[in-house]
């Protein structure tokens, strides 16, 4: 466990270093930011002053060293657009993304796992067909499309739910349902496949020979044995979504990290881009570690080292 933590920490550091270095490189390839920040009729003097303030007049190596040091100390500077600490802006957007993500995952799990189990138990029956129909639908419809459809139906036509913003629980329903539908499809497929494999194993016959209830065979033993691929898939979805469900956040005007990051890129607000990248990378690594630990606790044969 300790070796695992040490190894993982090293890996995370290297990952962050890599991501930040690439971003640093991109920033310097994308031209002089002072031209963007100042109006076109600004004087050369004003431009120099700004470059000096931003440290852009230093040699590249010095800039890079300062940049890495600032990353390490969590000081990514002020957003060029909002003139506030970039990291704080990102962290303030994080709860909205986390809320949307967890709601979507919870919704997806609640439907997909029972549906996947049913599809595996009654494979080739109408339940299985229905489940794969839903899965294909959920997976093949892009979220901006299904999102718009849901808005059309529930907001525009029926006027039951708001189509945008983040005020109150009702505003969460449509974006979470749109994302949930997409995630559900993937989780349902992997649950079905994993359960089918488990239910074909010899030990299931032993469980039945012990006279255990079907509920115990399927949920206690079956699901436990099938859980590692399911958890890994959930982890994958989770880390993808925590990085910001960009499309969904845009369609529903949801004030999350994804929308923030995209806008920062358009505005070439580099400190904000860096902060968003740092937060997303860290969450990604953290989720992966959590998944590893969870899988190890679900399957005693998986060792963390």
Compute the least distance from the CB of residue 219 to another protein, in Å. Answer: 13
Compute the least distance from the CB of residue 209 to another protein, in Å. Answer: 4
Shorter beta-carbon distance to another protein: residue 43 or 209: 209
Please give the distance of CA 264 from its chain centroid, rounded to a whole number.
18
The answer to whether residues 113 and 183 touch, using CB atoms and an 8 Å cutoff, is no
Given the rule CB under 8 A, which residues bind another protein?
124, 201-203, 205-214, 216, 221, 224-225, 298-301
Shorter beta-carbon distance to another protein: residue 221 or 268: 221
Compute the least distance from the CB of residue 235 to another protein, in Å. Answer: 19
Q: Residue 298: is it exposed, middle or buried by C-beta count within 10 angstroms (0-12/13-18/19+)?
A: middle
Compute the least distance from the CB of residue 202 to another protein, in Å. Answer: 4
Shorter beta-carbon distance to another protein: residue 3 or 209: 209
Shorter beta-carbon distance to another protein: residue 7 or 205: 205
Rounded CA separation 55/250 (Å): 33
Please give the distance of CA 221 from its chain centroid, rounded to a whole number.
30
Rounded CA separation 82/73 (Å): 21
Compute the least distance from the CB of residue 72 to another protein, in Å. Answer: 41
Compute the least distance from the CB of residue 200 to another protein, in Å. Answer: 10
Shorter beta-carbon distance to another protein: residue 68 or 207: 207
Compute the least distance from the CB of residue 286 to another protein, in Å. Answer: 26
Label residues 197-228 b or e (16+ Cβ within 10 Å = b).
ebbeeeebeebeeeeeeeeebbeebbbebbbb
The answer to whether residues 215 and 254 touch, using CB atoms and an 8 Å cutoff, is no
Label residues 139-150 b or e (16+ Cβ within 10 Å = b).
bebebeebbeeb
Label residues 108-130 b or e (16+ Cβ within 10 Å = b).
bbebbbebbbbbbbeeeeeebee
Shorter beta-carbon distance to another protein: residue 217 or 242: 217
Q: Which of 26, 14, 52, 39 is nearest to 270 (CA)?
A: 26
Shorter beta-carbon distance to another protein: residue 184 or 198: 198
């Amino acid at each position: 466990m300790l070796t695992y933590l040490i190894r993982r920490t090293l890996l995370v550091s290297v990952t962050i270093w890599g991501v930040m270095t690439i971003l640093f490189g991109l920033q310097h390839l994308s031209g002089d930011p002072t031209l963007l920040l100042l109006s076109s009729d600004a004087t050369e003097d004003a431009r120099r002053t700004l470059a000096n303030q931003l440290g852009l007049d230093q040699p590249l190596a010095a800039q890079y060293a300062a940049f890495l040091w600032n990353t390490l100390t969590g000081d990514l500077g002020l957003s060029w657009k909002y003139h506030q600490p970039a990291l704080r802006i990102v962290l303030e957007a994080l709860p909205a993304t986390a809320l949307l993500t967890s709601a979507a995952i919870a919704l997806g799990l609640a439907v997909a796992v029972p549906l996947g189990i049913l599809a595996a138990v009654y494979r080739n029956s109408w339940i299985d067909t229905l489940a794969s129909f839903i899965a294909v639908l959920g997976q093949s419809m892009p979220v901006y499309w299904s999102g718009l459809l849901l808005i059309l139906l529930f907001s525009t036509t029926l006027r039951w739910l708001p189509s945008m913003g983040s005020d109150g629980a009702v505003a969460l329903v449509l974006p979470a349902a749109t994302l949930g539908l997409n995630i559900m499809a993937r989780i349902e497929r992997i649950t079905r496949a994993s359960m089918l494999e488990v239910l074909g194993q010899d030990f299931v016959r032993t469980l039945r020979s012990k006279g255990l209830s079907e509920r115990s065979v399927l949920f206690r033993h079956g699901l436990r044995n099938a859980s590692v691929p399911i958890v890994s898939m959930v982890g994958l979805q989770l880390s993808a979504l925590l990085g910001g469900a960009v499309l969904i956040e845009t369609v529903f005007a949801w004030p999350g990290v994804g929308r923030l990051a995209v806008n920062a890129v358009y505005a070439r607000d580099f400190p904000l881009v860096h902060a968003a990248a740092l937060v997303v990378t860290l969450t990604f690594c953290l989720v992966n570690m959590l998944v590893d630990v969870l899988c190890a606790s679900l399957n005693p044969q998986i060792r963390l080292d």
